[in-house]
Structure 1
Amino acid sequence: MSEKDMQSYFDKLNEANSILKKSLKVESIDALAETLTNISDGKVYVENGVPNEDTAKKLEGIYNELKDLGLTPLQLKQAITVSIIKAQKDDKAEVNKLMTPDTIGLIASLIAYEVLNVQNKTNVNIVDPTVGTGNLLIEVIEQLNMTDKFKINAAALDNDDALIALTKSFSEVMNLNIDAYHQDSIADWDITDIDMAVADLPVGYYPIDDNAKNFKTKSDEGHSYVHHLLIEQTMNNLNDGGIGIFIVPSQIFQTDQAKKLSEWMVSSVYLQAVLDLPAGLFASKEAQKAVVVLQKHGADAKQVGNVLMGTIPDTNNPKLFEGFKDQLQDWAKNFKG
């Protein structure tokens, strides 16, 4: 399978998307979600005569051409992620909704793998409470699936209906089963029995003070930070000893609301790792993010001897990155039950 076929897939997917966008008069991201659902179902969804018969025929022809290209799951995912980036650019999507890059998904999956492997888990229930485009969760699942060691059940939550629809259709095309919930993740969750969470958290203030009032990480005055509330809510919903892998601003422990976050952490979770992501992934120092790994109290959970800290090397530097993987393995031994 060549680069040419992947480019061809992207071009045809883009063509189908443009046709559907025009026909349905929607944003690019909505059109892409519908396109992927159609591809997954193998037919064009028509409601009240839209798209019309000629357009539907044309789309079906493109879908058949896409199928004939026979991409591997990895190539398929690459073609779809490029399409998501294009659609978000067309829609001028806000920063908090932009797709999480594959590299961050790869790093999150390495951390997840090392911990789950040491814990000898075979069935794993994973949630992403701010799933967005779905790329972080899907990358983590794909990477874990490649090891053939786990049976993964996944759930996704997001308050953006267009993005949750995209996550669902993206996962269907990838032949993954993700239960998707359109909801505010600060509100009560319907799902239980969760072993692990992965999330690239939106950053900013949470507008509904009434929902925030029961959280220990809430601000004493004014709006609370949404990423603090989401960390607390997610960890509360995990099984005892459950692991949360969160992508957060590097400055998370240096803000005016950091004290509340730290106080809650001391009482409810173990802070097991704080790792700055490679600087090359971000446009500026201000935009820099880190991975924070938390473990809920209970079960066999205990504080690791040495919290894993530092900066993750660039994945393009194999020697340094292998060294980081060795560090991860040593650290993960702390999670033996």
Structure 2
Amino acid sequence: MEKTNVENLFEWIDQTTELIQQYDNAPYLDCLTGTLSTLFYRDIPEETDKELSQKLTDELEGAELESYTNTEIRKAVQLAILKGMKGSTQQQHLMTPETVALFTGYLAEKLTKGRENMRVFDPASGTGNLLTIVLEHLGNVSSVYAGEVDPTLIELAVLNANLQRKEIEFFHQDSLRPFLLDPVDLIVADLPVGYYPDDVRANEFELKASAGHSYSHHLFIEQSMNYTKEAGYLILVIPDFLFDSDQSDQLYAFIHEYAHIIGVIRLPKSAFKSEKNTKSILILQKNGEGVSAPKQPLLANLPSFNNTDAMNDILGQINTWFSENMPNQE
């Protein structure tokens, strides 16, 4: 069987990364940044080992970006990142599954239909996979922003965006600290889950814990709300237990005060590595002039993404919900 473009490009990225690893003796993800940088800039850093430099120059002759679409590039880079993350124990080093990101993009397209010159922000962008997939669904975007604290992940995200020819402004910082950013029309994020270690900073949030460390996923919801325009939307990939925790009453009251819940969509367990990682999608609209809650929120349990008939059925129901509850978006 003839290999696809995605397979060919992934093989080139993978082999080149392993080549760099032989000389640098560094983790795969760190060497991957060297591969993607070489691919994008078509240049080898001067300090590179002479033998490695010659091998990379030879490798470059076999990779022409112009022969790949943005989607093919994204998928090939995604496969390489997934390989580098395999076995990773760090929660923030888990990529948003492709199917979940695609579904988020579909929702973003439905919600923002008719809006022009949109500004989009992902405050927990990781390698940029969720954000770049969402952008593939939106044709009405004027500017895009992303925040990420992890140096390796943000380096991969910048190169990922560059290779896909997507203009994104990145903030390398703790995303729960203030951003030099005006509020945006749409926020998408796969919320980091866990405790936030900086109690002093957490103390500035309404959703701070009354005792002990605060939940970072709660603080991220408040931070996201702060950077959303009035009547803007938030599409958040949340842990399944979000509204069942010991601080959920406080969270629910906060959301009720500042926004309307547009919908909660339970994602299939099969989309995640393990059942404890199962997530849902929370859709919010920030309060603003002329904003009112939908007649009934969009509540759905998604079947396995592999079950085409069941997925088509649920998508039909979701489309009907949008036409009945949010006719301006149709």
Q: Which residue of structure 1 lines up, in the alignment, with residue 132 of structure 2?
A: 138
Counterpart among 100, 105, 109 of residue 109 in structure 1: 105
Instruction: Work out the CA distance in 1 between the residues paired with 2:289 and 2:60.
Output: 49
Deviation at 1:311, TM superposition (A): 0.6
* Count of aligned pairs between the two proteins: 327
Cα deviation code 1:174-212 (max 9, x no counterpart): 111111111111100112141111111111000001111
1:239-272, Cα deviation, whole Å (9 max, x unpaired): 1111111111111101111111111111111111
Could you say which residue in structure 1 is the equivalent of 2:220? 230
- SS across alignment from 1:239: strand
Q: Is 1:38 aligned with 2:19?
A: no
One-letter amino acid of the counterpart of residue 124, structure 2: T
Does the residue aligned with 1:217 lie in a helix, a strand or coil?
coil
Matched residue type, 2:53: A
TM-superposed deviation, 1:7 = 2.6
Q: Is the 8 A contact 1:276 1:310 kept in 2?
A: yes
Task: Report the Cα distance in structure 2 between the residues aligned to 1:277 and 1:152, rounded to whole angstroms.
Answer: 30
> What is the letter of the counterpart of residue 106 of structure 1?
L
- Tell me, in whole angstroms, the C-alpha distance in 2 between the residues paired with 1:130 and 1:8: 30
| 2:49 is the alignment partner of 1:52 | yes
The aligned runs of 1:173-184 (5 Å cut-off) are: 173-184=163-174
Residue 74 (structure 1) aligned with residue 71 (structure 2): yes
Tell me what 2:121 maps to: 127
RMSD: 2.0
Q: Distance in 1 between matches of 2:51 and 2:18?
A: 15
Pair 1:16-2:16 in alignment: yes
Cα distance, 1:93 vs. partner?
4.9
Pick one of 184, 195, 219 that aligns with 1:205.
195
Equivalent position amino acid for 1:128 in 2:
D
Contact 2:271–2:305 (Cα < 8 Å) also in 1: no
Q: 1:323 and 2:310 equivalent?
A: no
Runs (5+) with no aligned partner, structure 1: none
Report the Cα offset of residue 284 of structure 1. 3.6
TM-score (norm 2): 0.93
Contact map agreement 2:120 2:141 (CA 8 A) in 1? no
1:171, distance to aligned residue in structure 2 (A): 0.7
Q: 1:6 to 1:111 in 2, by over 3 A?
A: closer
Amino acid in structure 2 at the alignment position of 1:126: V
- Give the whole-Å Cα distance in 1 for the aligned partners of 2:217 and 2:162: 28
How far 1:153 sits from its partner (Å)? Answer: 2.3
Distance 2:316 2:102 in 1: 16
Give the TM-score normalised by structure 1.
0.91
1:79 Cα deviation from its structure 2 partner: 1.3
Q: Percent of aligned pairs with the same residue?
A: 28
In structure 1, C-alpha distance between the alignment counterparts of 2:65 and 2:239, rounded to whole Å: 43
Using the alignment, how far apart are the partners of 2:216 and 2:103 within structure 1?
Answer: 24
Cα distance between partner residues in 2 of 1:52 and 1:300: 62
The change in CA–CA distance for 1:227 and 1:109 in structure 2 (over 3 A counts) is same
Query: 2:322, 2:4 → 1: CA distance?
Result: 41
Q: CA deviation at 1:31?
A: 1.8
Could you tell me how far 1:113 is from its partner in structure 2? 0.5
Query: What is the identity, as a one-letter code, of the residue corresponding to 2:304?
Result: D
Q: Which amino acid in structure 2 is aligned with residue 81 of structure 1?
A: Q
- 283-292 or 22-31: which moved more? 22-31
Moved more, 103-112 or 295-304: 295-304
Task: State how far apart, in whole Å, the 2-side matches of 1:202 and 1:68 are.
Answer: 33
Whether the 8 Å contact between 1:114 and 1:328 is mirrored in structure 2 is no
| Alpha carbons 2:184, 2:229 under 8 Å: kept | yes
1:331 CA displacement:
3.3
Larger deviation, residues 243-252 vs 65-74: 65-74
